[in-house]
Amino acid sequence: MKRKVCIVTGTRAEWGLLSGIANELKHHSDVELQLVATNMHLDERYGHTIDDIIAAGFEVNERVPMMVEDDSPAMTAKAMAKCLDGMVDAFSRLNPHLVVILGDRYEMLSVASAATVMRIPIVHLHGGEISEGAIDDSIRHAITKLSSLHLTATEEYRARVIQMGEDPNRVINTGAIGVYNVAHIKPMSLEELNKSLDFEITPGTLLVTYHPATLDDADVASRCQALLDALDTFAENKVIITYPNNDAQGRVIIEMIEDYAAKNVGRVLVKPSLGLHRYISALHYVAAVVGNSSSGIIEVPSLHIPTVNIGIRQQGRMASDSVIHCADDRQSITDAITMALSNEGQLQAQQASNPYCKENTLNLIVDAIATTPLEVLKRKSFYDLNEI
């Protein structure tokens, strides 16, 4: 009997990371792939990216809506409850042997909770990492304790998962799948990309993604305004801005960046989602990445361009020397972008190595998911470091 492996995805960025894994599992002789789409994939405001999954040739077996009236913290918690309820129904119909989830999103805590109570082993990617400026940090560690097989992005993160009491035999350093993607996906030509975007990327173009830092006590509008004011300093540089995730107060940022683009027609392009291929392609032609996304720290250094990492959201993550950290006021952001665009900043990025890079990442992940004996994943014991 084939192993039924259920991948659950809720955002465009996460699916961009998981799509290559899903494709390999889809064609694996011993695996029956199942896909469940939830959250942003089903939301028209964020591009209804379930269409991209289907267009890529995948069957989406279940859809779990979880939209609510607004993106306040209380409504986010209610969205999690909707997701938990929907996942129970989805797993009951699909009856998977394994559930595969990535990262630290709030909807994935609902997925992991449903799977745990239903006694479905969880494979978790990107555990052991730290991002102290967001509630994602606590959620990631909670998912680790609910999971049975851990595929980490670095050896340091592997050690941290083991420190949390997880069996070393079930914690594998695979490297980051996003780094594998940027190394193996052929980019579009600049002409093709410009045509696809209906926008001309010129030398010095900046690619910006800014999310709410959900543990920041400051007003998200003031933080975003500081970024936009800093971008005004670089009036000769074109800017591509993608939407934030639908975290609490994310809609505030969307309104602000859409207004900013309307005031800077021809210079600023806003897109809900670039999609994996256009995003990786853009990284080959822009001068720097600006914002506070994990991609700027994990994947972007492999393209040898600078990242300006703003504020506390990613605080604690391992980072390449190509990542320029700054505070979230206008002057600090301006100084960091100036450094990124300078000859010194560009040279530093060219020479920097990426700590998330490892050979054979995709094969290591697929092999672990497809071949780890199920019987060893169904029960867990706490691994005490004192026993070493």
pLDDT digits (tens, 9 = 90+) for 313-336: 999 999 999 999 999 999 999 999
Q: Residue 120: its pLDDT value, please? A: 98
> What's the whole-model pTM score?
0.91
Do residues 217 and 325 share a domain? yes
Q: Is residue 347 part of a domain?
A: yes
Residues 7 and 148 in one domain: yes
pLDDT computed for residue 68 by the predictor: 81
Question: E strands along the chain, which residues?
Answer: 3-9, 31-38, 62-64, 98-102, 122-125, 149-152, 171-173, 206-209, 239-242, 268-271, 288-291, 307-310, 323-326
Residue 30 has a CB neighbour count (10 Å cut-off) of 11
Q: What is the pLDDT of residue 46?
A: 87
Q: How far apart are CA 348 and CA 352, in angstroms?
A: 6
- Nearest in space to 291 (alpha carbons), one of 230, 352, 349, 353: 230
Q: What is the amino acid identity at position 128?
A: G
125 and 264 part of one domain: no
* Nearest partner of 186 among 80, 103, 281, judged by Cα: 281
Do 128 and 11 have their domain in common?
Answer: yes
Residue 183 domain flag: no
Report yes or no on 181 lying in a domain: no
Quick check: is 329 in a domain?
yes
Q: What single-letter amino acid sits at 78? A: K
Domain count, the chain: 2
Q: Which residues contact 215 (CB under 8 A, 6 or more apart)?
A: 132, 133, 134, 135, 137, 312
- State whether 301 and 377 are in the same domain: no
Residue 333 lies in a domain: yes
User: DSSP 3-state assignment of 4?
Assistant: strand
Average of pLDDT values for 93-120? Answer: 97
pLDDT for residue 387:
64
Helices of type H across 60-200: 73-94, 106-117, 136-146, 155-163, 177-184, 190-197
Write down the residue that tokens 């290591």 correspond to. 364
Co-location of 147 and 286 in the same domain = no
The residue ranking higher by pLDDT, 218 or 282, is 282
| Domain identity same for 153 and 125 | yes
Give mean pLDDT, residues 17-46: 95
Give me the sheet containing 31-38, strands edge to edge: 62-64, 31-38, 3-9, 98-102, 122-125, 149-152, 171-173
In a domain, 339, yes or no: yes
Note whether 344 and 206 are same-domain residues. yes
- 30 falls in which pLDDT band (50, 70, 90)? very high
Cα–Cα distance, 210 to 253 (Å, whole number): 8
CA distance 177 to 166: 22
pLDDT at 283 over 80: yes
Please list the residues that pair with 288 across neighbouring strands: 206
**Do 103 and 128 lie in a common domain?**
yes
User: What's the confidence (pLDDT) of residue 222?
Assistant: 96
For the segment 121-160, what is each residue's pLDDT rounded down to a tens digit? Answer: 999 999 999 998 889 899 999 999 999 999 999 999 999 9
Query: If we measure between CA atoms, which residue out of 250, 1, 292, 297 comes closest to residue 126?
Result: 297
Average pLDDT over residues 198-221: 94
Confidence of residue 388 (pLDDT cuts 50, 70, 90): low
Question: Is residue 7, in this structure, part of any structural domain at all?
Answer: yes
Looking at the fold, whether 48 and 170 belong to one and the same domain comes out as yes
User: Is residue 180 in a domain?
Assistant: no
Q: What is the CATH number of the domain that holds 310?
A: 3.40.50.2000
Give the range of the structural domain holding residue 56, as residue numbers without chain letter: 3-175+358-387
Query: Within this chain, do residues 152 and 226 fall inside the same structural domain, yes or no?
Result: no
Same domain, 166 and 236: no
Closest CA to 286 of 350, 227, 202, 352: 202
